[in-house]
Amino acid sequence: MNPARIPVSAPDLSGNEETYVVDAIRSTWISSSGAYVDRFEREFASLCGTRTAIGVCNGTVALHLCLLALDVRPGDEVLVPSLTYISTANAVRYVGAEPVFVDVDPNSWCLDPSRLEASITRRTRGIIAVHLYGQPADMDAIRHVAGVHGLWLVEDAAEAPLAGYKGRPTGSLAPLATFSFYGNKIFTCGEGGAITVSDPALELRLRTLRGQGMDPQRRYYFPVTGYNFRLTNVACALLCAQLERRDQMLQRRREIFAGYRALLDGTPGIGFQPTPDWSESAPWLFCITVDPSAFGRTRDDLISILGDSGIETRPFFIPLHQLPPFREESRQRGEVLPHTDYLGATGMNLPTFNGLTDLQIQEIADSIRRLVR
């Protein structure tokens, strides 16, 4: 495969990123305290409509920390979608619990609320609802199921900052929500994450566990075993520069999504990610599905041919119930997830980043249309 002329993703560092990072370095506050940490947590909480945000070193750690704060233990079960990045299920395993996989709704590609109750057992303790590829899950319906059965609920919003659900921002749709700021995300600091929370007691437990278990009111007194999950002032400097350009970044990504849709609409075998009318998705990575019977080639054929021409794409996540760490347990539970299996076999992401030009979008769309057989 030729080196990508058009990568699937690239960070946008065209604002005050360098200025703020240099300022953080010159201040000598380069670890987990400093003005940019405070500023980032304050501004991100405001963006999400929560009382506070807690910066952590990556999105997987954010999930792990939430499960620790919720006292999830060995033998517990947690309901998760199978169509998600592996960190969602890995975090459940980190605390000794078992992820139980639930199919997705074809109308949102997110956790199907109507399928949750069939997977609940006496060991079920909670639900992690993933906002897949920027599309929010149907949180009111999921929250109803959680409430009826006395389960906690966490929203995994790693891919969906700036998304909305019935007029409310992601991050505020459950007692705890997690975000990722990996290099390919809408907001990035290379590696980083955050938890949004409004309950003061939960915040205290999260911050204590994040900082090695130290009592916030008594330095070097450790009432519990904790972890070093903190985010640095330098990373937060990058995030502050990104947040102040959020309107500009969001507008450009929406233009990219609109361009792809206009150019690919009506292409035989090419489907788009659905957006229910109760939600506003975050334009993270543009998604298509490839129906080989109508398109004339498989999704993997298309990825390979585009790659040979210098256009990098990527397949959807391999469904977690098919992967070696989880498939035997899934088989024993008799899990049947047809919508997840279909999307995992046919879905792919097209290049999506702020610096993508209209000419490049045209080239990508033209390349796809030319390959219809």
The CATH number given to whatever domain includes residue 233 is: 3.40.640.10
Q: What is the mean pLDDT of residues 296-312?
A: 98
**Is 116 among the domain residues?**
yes
pLDDT at position 2: 55
Q: What is the mean pLDDT of residues 246-268?
A: 98
Q: Within 10 A of 267 (CB to CB), how many other CB atoms are there?
A: 17
**Is 10 among the domain residues?**
no
Residues 211 and 224 in one domain: yes
Residues 253 and 226 in one domain: no
Q: What is the mean pLDDT of residues 76-92?
A: 98
Residues 338 and 194 in one domain: no
- Counting the structural domains of the chain, the total is 2
For 184-243, write each residue's pLDDT tens digit: 999 999 999 999 999 999 999 999 999 999 998 899 999 999 999 999 999 999 999 999
Q: Is 94 exposed, middle or buried (0-12, 13-18, 19+ CB in 10 A)?
A: middle
Residues 110 and 199 in one domain: yes
- What's the domain range around 323? 246-370
pTM of the model: 0.96
pLDDT at 3 over 90: no
Q: Are β-strands 270-272 and 152-156 bridged in parallel, bridged antiparallel, or unpaired?
A: unpaired
**Average pLDDT, whole number, for the chain?**
97
Farthest-apart Cα atoms in the chain, separation:
69
For 42-68, write each residue's pLDDT tens digit: 999 999 999 999 999 999 999 999 999
Residues 226 and 176 in one domain: yes
d(CA 72, CA 157): 20
Residues 157 and 254 in one domain: no
Residues 68 and 149 in one domain: yes
Nearest to residue 196, comparing CAs of 313, 43, 301, 87?
43
Residues 26 and 147 in one domain: yes
The fraction of the chain above a pLDDT of 90, given in percent, is 98
pLDDT at 263 over 90: yes
Residues 152 and 216 in one domain: yes
Residues 263 and 237 in one domain: no
pLDDT at 1 over 50: no
The CATH number given to whatever domain includes residue 260 is: 3.90.1150.10
Q: What is the mean pLDDT of residues 352-361?
A: 98
Choose one of 209, 228, 243: the last residue of a domain: 243
Residues 156 and 210 in one domain: yes
